[in-house]
């Protein structure tokens, strides 16, 4: 009795599942790491480019929280 070779579709689904897991893991850990930069930026002051960077990091953190919220559930 032989085992059938995996089809391209099955292999594609496995790769997609692996990539989804990797994306969730990266987003989860980014959501943990990004807030570590907030005190430094607040200490530097929120004028000009620093303020824009702070707001961009807030949005990046919200996106990371949304993407990585069910990592390892």
Q: pLDDT tens, 9-64?
A: 566 677 767 778 888 899 999 999 999 999 999 999 989 899 999 999 999 999 99
Write down the pLDDT at residue 8.
59
pLDDT tens digits along 1-10: 667 665 555 6
Q: Is this structure's pTM higher than 0.85?
A: no
> 3-state SS of the chain?
CCCCCCCHHHHHHHHHHHHHHHHHHHHHHHHHHHHHHHHHHHHHCCCCHHHHHHHHHHHHHHHHHHHHCCCCC
């Amino acid at each position: 009795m032989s085992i059938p070779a995996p089809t391209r579709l099955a292999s594609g689904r496995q790769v997609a599942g692996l990539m989804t897991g990797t994306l969730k893991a990266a987003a989860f850990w980014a959501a943990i790491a990004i807030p570590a930069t907030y005190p430094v930026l607040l200490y530097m002051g929120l004028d000009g480019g620093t303020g824009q960077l702070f707001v961009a990091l807030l949005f990046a953190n919200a996106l990371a929280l949304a993407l990585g919220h069910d990592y390892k559930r």
